[in-house]
Structure 1
Amino acid sequence: MKYLVVLTTFLLGATATPVRQRQTTQAKVSGFSASTNTYGNGATIDYDVEIAGLVNTHCSYSDETSGPKLPDVQQRPCDDPAVRWQFRQDPSQPGAEGRYRIVVIYTSASGVGAAGFHEWAASDFLEDADETIYEGASEFIVDIS
């Protein structure tokens, strides 16, 4: 019986403790562009990220080896290493082409990290046999928490 009272008190105390929600920060992405070079001899992804009062940096990727399809870009730093990012196209599902996704990761000076993503329909990326070109909005917000 003693154990039941202690366990009940412990569980009630745990449920009475408020759950803290993570703070969400907005990262403004501007000037976003992504494309492969005509005839599939390389790719570029380029944009700026601003988190008001914290960081304003440029992020980019380029290669000379990608074919006509945009490559998956593994996590890499922006000019300010407090911001890292990655880019990929999700796997296709039956009847639908996979969505494109960019992940933005911010690590504060205290070492606390937060991340968020933005995704697009595949139709925002014009693809033909020779190249892929992003045709969507060049500015968008990424909620980072």
Structure 2
Amino acid sequence: MKYFAVLTTLLLGATATPVRQRQTTQAKISGFSASTNTNGDGATIGYNFEIAGLVSTHCGYSDEISESKLPNVQQTLCDDPAVRWQFRQDPSLPGTQGRYRIVVIYTPTSGAGAAGFHEWAASDFPLDTDETVYQGASDFIVDMA
């Protein structure tokens, strides 16, 4: 009977404890730009990434082989290697163009990192004759969890 009372107390105590949600941190992306070069001879994507009090770095990608469409960028390190990112256009659904997405991952040496993403409509990346130029806001917030 003693064991039952102790077990009941432990179980009730465990169910009364609120479940903590993982805290989110806001990261600021500023100066975001993305474009292909005229004549289809390369692409450039760049921005500054900051989590106040933790990290501030520049992230960028460029190539000389992309044509008029922005490339998918696999995980790439920023100037501060604690931050890595990737960029891609999601697959299209019938009758639509896929959304663009950037994913940013912050992994400090302490190991307790965070990740977040930002999405854009394809209309923010219009293809004009032979180049794509991002035309949305250059500064935005990414919720990192």
Q: TM-score, normalised by structure 2?
A: 0.89
**Counterpart in the other structure of 1:122:** 122
**Counterpart in the other structure of 2:21:** 21
Gaps of 5+ in 2: none
**Counterpart in the other structure of 2:35:** 35
Counterpart secondary structure, 1:39: helix
Displacement of 1:19 in angstroms is 1.2
**Counterpart in the other structure of 1:140:** 140
Quick one: distance in 1 between partners of 2:13 and 2:64?
59
**Counterpart in the other structure of 2:106:** 106
Counterpart secondary structure, 1:15: helix
Counterpart secondary structure, 1:26: strand
Quick one: distance in 1 between partners of 2:140 and 2:13?
42
Quick one: distance in 1 between partners of 2:11 and 2:69?
54
Quick one: distance in 2 between partners of 1:41 and 1:10?
66
RMSD: 2.0
Quick one: distance in 1 between partners of 2:121 and 2:138?
14
Stretches of 4+ moved more than 4 A in 1?
A: 7-14
**Counterpart in the other structure of 1:83:** 83
